[in-house]
Chains A and B, each alone.
Chain A
Amino acid sequence: MENENQEAKKEIPDVKEKKKFSFNYDKYYKLLLLIPIFLLLLSLTYIGIFYSKNGDFINKDVSLSGGTSITINGEINQEQLEVALKPKFPDVSFTKLTDIVSKKELALIVESSASVEELQPEIESILGYKLNEKNSSIEFTGASLSKDFYRQLIMALFISFILMSIVIFILFRTFIPSIAVIFAVFADIVFPLAVIDYFGIKVSAAGIAAFLMLIGYSVDTDILLTSRVLKTREGSVNNRIFRAFKTGILMNLTALAAILPAFFIVTGLPDSFRQIFLILALGLFADILNTWLTNASIIKWYCVKKGIQ
């Protein structure tokens, strides 16, 4: 406790939080667990409803469902294109790329399951000029290939999750704490998935790769927590959880600091890039809850049951 006082002198804001924290934690840790569980159930329910409506867990973009994506450089009149293209291509969708700081519209992305040969001449006749490599990019993915890609990426996601689980089991070699970590990572994936579905964002191949990265990215705070609580014996369990929290929350914040500028400061970025960062950001946010409420509560519970001091 002497050590804590020393630290408290250095960092006054922490001390209040800590007192309140250790005061309530023994009583409320199980209750705290309810918050992320509620969120997880809500997300899972939403994804379930989404699945029953759409026949899949996500909205796939053309790189995963097959079709054409045309990126037209410069400021393009989206409404004009929308009005003219909708009747012929009911599934057409638009994404505008704007740089927030300069307010400059960089490009408009038009997506449809139609082939390039169908879509390109229509757009050209509406715009009144030919699309070439100077003013546009055209990407086409065949239907069967995209189906294959999607299946493989989902498989990769499963393999990734299983490999991660194996590493966790090897690291901790105890059942409940390992399961707690794996469960937290699972919840980290589910939350961004639900948010993305809710906002109707179309997921690209890069987006699914981001989910894979999230598995590796979100697990480090869980490892920190579990190893501090189970592998060291200085201070009480609460104390160790709190020390891990102090380190870990900074890790979460710096990780978010690496990701968030892509949404608020420099936004004129390739779509694949933006999507990877969006999914990581949502996952990291979920990770704050899932590490410090879900995982921490389970590990605390485990320590109480096992009598670990």
Chain B
Amino acid sequence: MKIGFRIWILIIVLVLALLAIAPWKTFDKGVVIKSVEVNSSAFNEGLRQGQIISSIDGQKVDNLEDFSKVINSKNFSDAHTKLIINTNKGEFILFTNKTPEINVAGPPKSNLKTGLDLSGGSRALVKAKDKDLSSSEINDLISVVSNRLNVYGIADVQISPVSDLSGNNFIMIEIAGTTPSDLKDLISQQGKFEAKIKNDTVFIGGEKDIASVCRNDASCAAIESCNPDNTGMYFCTFRFSVYLSEEAAKKHADITKNLGVNVTPQGNYLSEKLDLYLDDNLVDTLLISEGLKGVVTTQISISGSDSGSTSDEAYKIASESMNKLQTILITGSLPYQLEIVKLDTISPNLGKEFTRNIVLLGLIVFIIISIVLFVRYRKIKITLSVILTMFSEAFITLGVAALISWNLDAPSIAGLIAGMGTGVNDQIVIIDESISDTKVSLKERIKRALFIILGAFFTIIAAMLPLFWAGAGMLKGFALTTIIGVTAGILITRPAFAEIIKRIEE
């Protein structure tokens, strides 16, 4: 059979879709670095997000289990354990006394990405409280929020501006995989940090006053102690050092210069204390020792405590609080008070089951439609052509989704499967027109079929278009896959199918 140019186009597009989806990635080995703690030894040696680790110390790392096996076999208590990490970007040698601060994940199986409802993760829709933000204000806000999340150490986060049909501006924060337990605070807390002596502000959070904050270094940032209280709760205290800018340190000297001294049995302290406020709530009060009076001091130690029902829980919560406070001190406050209008945290576990079931459903739909068509037409060739076309359409849609890095959520896949249904409908129209025994020429009959198909195409586009804007675009995926599917149908698969049918009939 001679292959006409319409069929050639279909073949070329299918190959391109295959390249875009890259299903052979299933056979890829190694683990992908999802995030590297900034300024950790791993970071300083050049390990970065996106690199693929293939071996550590000569031991092969094919998957996540291998990775944790190798890491767990190392004894990091030794002052400087040597670690040779081989990646696709070369070899890195680490000397470290603790587990490398990197997060890894198994390699992606293809370029297809599933949405949060299937892969798990969290999504927050945030807007400014009692204020309409312009798009430039939204962009400022996005950079502050993303800085904050990065400093906190959240990997794989996507922040984007969205607006809806009523002209409201939001920011959408999407975090794939795990959900940090205090995401809500991290996003919505304005984080206005102020250190005051009486009513005078000594310094505030952010880079103007804070030169640096000690993190990940046990000598100046640590959980100091964990103790049970008489109610059975555990309290853990953390402490970390903050280094002030020259300017802030001078301000401290100016304010303390004129203060009196209280003599107490525990030592001599200035008459006023340093009060630390977070969003106007007092979080800590520090006594200032007499020696610091009028002195330009740049180092300050901040402490806090948190409780939990077990020692481990208290430790974890206190560590998180410390990290949050450190983050706020480094990044400063958000320019606006924010309000979380929607917050979804989705378990990855159920999503796996869903994904499997959806794939199964797709296969069953293929089989049932094949049976229905075969019963009607009793011709293997015709049935196979329809199935092939249906498959091509789904495949091209997935290819486009991979190409534009679209995250396929459940509604997107519902759109894809429903779109396959309309695709088959169009092919039925073509078959019935071409096998009908009228005196009209085949060309004319195909033209008639195309009129019906084009009509159906334009109505479905018209019907789905409003979804791009309604509801902050949360249902865009549904509209998008449907529109990609029917467009691929009209431009590529339908003409090819018409040609195939013409050849079968001839």
Beyond A3-B437, A254-B424, 14 extra complex contacts between A and B, CB < 8 Å: A106-B353, A159-B465, A160-B463, A168-B459, A205-B474, A206-B411, A209-B475, A212-B466, A223-B456, A247-B428, A258-B417, A258-B421, A270-B117, A273-B414
Cβ A270 vs Cβ B364 within 8 A:
no
Cβ A145 vs Cβ B429 within 8 A:
no
> With the chains together, A145 CA to B172 CA distance in Å?
13
Residue B460 lies at the interface, judged by CB distance under 8 Å to chain A: yes
Contacts of B441-497 to chain A: CB distance below 8 A: 448, 451-452, 455-456, 458-467, 469-472, 474-475, 478-479, 482
Residue A141 lies at the interface, judged by CB distance under 8 Å to chain B: yes
Q: Which residues of A contact B348 (CB under 8 A)?
A: 133
Contacts of A188-220 to chain B: CB distance below 8 A: 205-206, 209-210, 212-213, 215-217, 219-220
The interface bits of chain A over 208-238 (1 if a CB of B lies within 8 angstroms of the residue's CB, else 0) are: 0110110111011101100100011010000
Knowing A209-B475, A212-B463, A272-B414 are in contact, say whether A234-B428 is a contact too (CB < 8 A).
no
Contact of B452 among A137, A220, A268 (CB under 8 A): A220
> With the chains together, A152 CA to B166 CA distance in Å?
7
Q: Which residues of B contact A273 (CB under 8 A)?
A: 354, 358, 410-411, 413-414
Min CB–CB distance B121 → chain A (angstroms): 9
The interface bits of chain B over 98-120 (1 if a CB of A lies within 8 angstroms of the residue's CB, else 0) are: 00000000000000000001101
Cβ B347 vs Cβ A135 within 8 A:
yes
Which residue from chain A places its CB closest to the CB of B462 in the assembled complex?
A163
Min CB–CB distance A186 → chain B (angstroms): 13
Residue B227 lies at the interface, judged by CB distance under 8 Å to chain A: no
Contact of A254 among B428, B460, B472 (CB under 8 A): B428
Cβ A166 vs Cβ B429 within 8 A:
no
> With the chains together, A6 CA to B458 CA distance in Å?
35
Residues of chain B touching chain A, judged by Cβ–Cβ distance below 8 Å, are 117-118, 120, 125, 164-166, 168, 178-179, 181, 339-350, 353-354, 357-358, 360-361, 364-365, 368-369, 372-373, 376, 409-411, 413-415, 417-418, 420-422, 424-426, 428-429, 432, 436-440, 448, 451-452, 455-456, 458-467, 469-472, 474-475, 478-479, 482
Q: Which residues of B contact A243 (CB under 8 A)?
A: 432, 436
Cβ B421 vs Cβ A145 within 8 A:
no
Which residue from chain A places its CB closest to the CB of B373 in the assembled complex?
A254
Closest 6 CB pairs of A and B: A216-B460, A216-B463, A163-B462, A156-B466, A258-B421, A220-B456
> With the chains together, A247 CA to B431 CA distance in Å?
9
- Main SS of the interface on chain B? helix
Cβ B458 vs Cβ A73 within 8 A:
no
Q: Which residues of A contact B472 (CB under 8 A)?
A: 149
Knowing A213-B464, A227-B452, A273-B358 are in contact, say whether A266-B428 is a contact too (CB < 8 A).
no
Min CB–CB distance A239 → chain B (angstroms): 11
A160, A213, A246, A277 — most chain B CB neighbours (10 Å): A213
> With the chains together, A171 CA to B450 CA distance in Å?
12
20 contacting pairs across A/B (C-beta < 8 A): A107-B350, A134-B349, A137-B344, A148-B168, A156-B466, A163-B462, A164-B463, A166-B462, A171-B455, A212-B466, A220-B422, A220-B425, A231-B451, A243-B432, A261-B368, A265-B364, A272-B117, A273-B413, A276-B414, A277-B418
Knowing A136-B347, A160-B462 are in contact, say whether A261-B365 is a contact too (CB < 8 A).
yes
Min CB–CB distance B363 → chain A (angstroms): 9
Contact of A138 among B344, B357, B439, B479 (CB under 8 A): B344
Contact of A153 among B125, B455, B470, B482 (CB under 8 A): B470
Residue A280 lies at the interface, judged by CB distance under 8 Å to chain B: yes
Which residue from chain B places its CB closest to the CB of A270 in the assembled complex?
B410
Min CB–CB distance B57 → chain A (angstroms): 31
Cβ A258 vs Cβ B438 within 8 A:
no
Q: Which residues of B contact A6 (CB under 8 A)?
A: 437
Cβ A224 vs Cβ B417 within 8 A:
no
Min CB–CB distance B329 → chain A (angstroms): 27
> With the chains together, A194 CA to B439 CA distance in Å?
46
Contact of A141 among B166, B341, B373 (CB under 8 A): B341
Question: How many A residues touch B, CB cutoff 8 Å?
Answer: 80
Knowing A134-B349, A247-B429 are in contact, say whether A153-B471 is a contact too (CB < 8 A).
yes
Cβ A160 vs Cβ B350 within 8 A:
no
Residue A167 lies at the interface, judged by CB distance under 8 Å to chain B: yes
Min CB–CB distance B427 → chain A (angstroms): 9
Cβ A272 vs Cβ B411 within 8 A:
yes
Residue A71 lies at the interface, judged by CB distance under 8 Å to chain B: yes
> With the chains together, A268 CA to B432 CA distance in Å?
36
> With the chains together, A158 CA to B368 CA distance in Å?
34
> With the chains together, A7 CA to B437 CA distance in Å?
8
A145, A232, A258 — most chain B CB neighbours (10 Å): A258
Cβ B429 vs Cβ A224 within 8 A:
yes
Contact of B462 among A99, A141, A144, A164 (CB under 8 A): A164
Cβ B425 vs Cβ A276 within 8 A:
no
Q: Which residues of A contact B426 (CB under 8 A)?
A: 220
Cβ A152 vs Cβ B471 within 8 A:
yes
Residue A142 lies at the interface, judged by CB distance under 8 Å to chain B: yes
Residue A250 lies at the interface, judged by CB distance under 8 Å to chain B: yes
Cβ A257 vs Cβ B372 within 8 A:
yes
Knowing A152-B471, A266-B360 are in contact, say whether A234-B353 is a contact too (CB < 8 A).
no
Residue A179 lies at the interface, judged by CB distance under 8 Å to chain B: no
> With the chains together, A171 CA to B462 CA distance in Å?
13
Contact of B459 among A215, A224, A280 (CB under 8 A): A215
Knowing A138-B344, A145-B341, A234-B440 are in contact, say whether A258-B369 is a contact too (CB < 8 A).
yes
Contact of B354 among A258, A268, A277 (CB under 8 A): A268
Which residue from chain B places its CB closest to the CB of A284 in the assembled complex?
B421
Q: Which residues of A contact B372 (CB under 8 A)?
A: 250, 253-254, 257
Cβ B459 vs Cβ A133 within 8 A:
no
Q: Which residues of B contact A167 (CB under 8 A)?
A: 455, 458-459, 462
> With the chains together, A214 CA to B420 CA distance in Å?
14
Knowing A135-B349, A247-B432, A266-B361 are in contact, say whether A223-B452 is a contact too (CB < 8 A).
yes
> With the chains together, A37 CA to B348 CA distance in Å?
47
Q: Which residues of B contact A3 (CB under 8 A)?
A: 437-438
